[in-house]
A and B are shown apart, each in its own frame.
Chain A
Amino acid sequence: MSEHRHRTRLLPLTAAMLMLGVIGRAILALPTTGDGLAVPMRAGAEASGIPNVITAVLLDFRGYDTLLEIAVLMLATVAVLSLREDPAALSRRIAGGAGPVLGTLTRALAPIMLLVAGHLVLVGSSGPGGAFQGGAVLGAAGILLMLSGYARPAWASRRAVRWVLAVGLIVFIGVALYPLLSGGTLLQYPPENRKDLILLVEALLTLSIGASLVSLFLASASSTEGGGRR
């Protein structure tokens, strides 16, 4: 057994060392200075009226990446939802209801988390925040509600929830394709309402990301027998 163990450990160790060598070699080959894209991106962000460069990069300059990334998230959600073992288990609550501590905490926290999520989206154009952070907080709030029994797992199967899941991607694709009608290029926002369009896409993406995270959790959580084993 120990010899077998020894042999099976040699390959991973070699692979890890090899990886370290390759990455180290690649990093040392890079120049140690250089401004990269920081300066042009900051200038572009100022010009487009979105002071937070990250948000400008995510939704404007490299919107294509973000579009595909949302599609990946959507595909993963669809895959996880279709891997559910027992859809009927969804009708049960995950936890057997919240105790006094968890219940009170959830009642206090959930509205604050919703507020924080909304704030992150609105503030995202000028400060740290945006669709991803807001969506993450929204998703965490949803999972908390599910765990404490205030929200029902069966909601994941509702048609309305499915629409919330998809609306971010659908509207983003629509906004991306719209400029093509007037001879523009993909994701070329019209300059006069660029800020509004970006805020609209961000708000809907937040909803979709939040719903995706909750669905990812639910779909996998539902396959335990009511989750009572935890």
Chain B
Amino acid sequence: MTSYLIYVAGGALLYALGTYGLLARRHLIHKVISANLMGSGVFLILIGLGNRAEGGPDPVPQAMVLTGIVVTVALTALGLAIIKRYYSATGLTNLDDEPPAGERP
């Protein structure tokens, strides 16, 4: 097993973990964290696969991941801003129909 496959496998696992968290966790911030983990998984796969070459790492996936990191932070910021706005409008921190018992409606 060559070294790049370790990272690619780790990236695939992280992506699956993020998918699970995105669907299973109900708190919206947990969903944003899950999306971040999915993104990191994709980046690991991209750069990991770019390390297959004997002649050194492939610079193109690295550049793509560099832009991807900045897009991820934009996604996170926009998601969190919408979550806060949603929270002040509804008092909810998840997408359930009913507010949980004991919480502000």
The chain B residue sitting closest to A209, CB to CB, is: B70
Give the complex CA separation of A25 and B6 in angstroms.
Answer: 16
The chain A residue sitting closest to B89, CB to CB, is: A85
B84 at the interface (CB under 8 A from A): yes
A171 at the interface (CB under 8 A from B): no
B12 touches A20 (CB 8 A): yes
Interface positions, chain B 49-90, Cβ under 8 Å from A, are: 49-50, 52-60, 62-64, 66-67, 69-71, 73-75, 77-78, 80-82, 84-85, 88
**Distance (whole angstroms) from the CB of A145 to the closest CB of chain B:** 18
Give the complex CA separation of A65 and B62 in angstroms.
Answer: 13
A23 touches B15 (CB 8 A): yes
**Distance (whole angstroms) from the CB of B67 to the closest CB of chain A:** 4
A19 at the interface (CB under 8 A from B): yes
**Distance (whole angstroms) from the CB of B39 to the closest CB of chain A:** 14
Partner of B15, one of A9, A19, A76: A19
A41 touches B45 (CB 8 A): no
Give the complex CA separation of A57 and B67 in angstroms.
Answer: 11
**Distance (whole angstroms) from the CB of A185 to the closest CB of chain B:** 20
**Distance (whole angstroms) from the CB of A19 to the closest CB of chain B:** 5
B8 at the interface (CB under 8 A from A): yes
A100 at the interface (CB under 8 A from B): no
A41 touches B59 (CB 8 A): yes
B29 at the interface (CB under 8 A from A): no
**Distance (whole angstroms) from the CB of B22 to the closest CB of chain A:** 8
Interface size on B, residues (CB 8 A): 44
Q: If A27-B8, A36-B50 touch, does A19 touch B59 (CB 8 Å cutoff)?
A: no
A191 at the interface (CB under 8 A from B): no
A79 at the interface (CB under 8 A from B): yes
Partner of A9, one of B24, B50, B62, B81: B24
Give the complex CA separation of A34 and B88 in angstroms.
Answer: 53
B16 at the interface (CB under 8 A from A): yes
- Measured between beta carbons, the chain B residues less than 8 angstroms from A38 are 50, 53, 55-59
- Measured between beta carbons, the chain B residues less than 8 angstroms from A24 are 12
**Distance (whole angstroms) from the CB of A124 to the closest CB of chain B:** 11
B95 at the interface (CB under 8 A from A): no
Partner of B63, one of A36, A42, A58, A80: A58
Which B residues are closer than 8 A to A by beta carbons?
2, 8, 12-13, 15-17, 19-24, 45, 49-50, 52-60, 62-64, 66-67, 69-71, 73-75, 77-78, 80-82, 84-85, 88
Report, nearest first, the 6 A-B pairs whose CB atoms are least far apart: A12-B23, A76-B74, A216-B77, A16-B20, A12-B24, A53-B59
- 21 pairs from A and B in contact (CB 8 Å cutoff): A12-B20, A15-B23, A20-B12, A20-B16, A24-B12, A27-B8, A30-B49, A33-B53, A33-B54, A38-B58, A39-B55, A54-B63, A62-B63, A69-B67, A73-B70, A76-B78, A79-B78, A80-B78, A85-B85, A132-B67, A213-B73
Q: A135-B70, A220-B81 are in contact. List 9 more A-B contacts (CB 8 A).
A: A12-B21, A12-B24, A15-B19, A16-B19, A20-B16, A76-B74, A216-B77, A217-B77, A223-B88
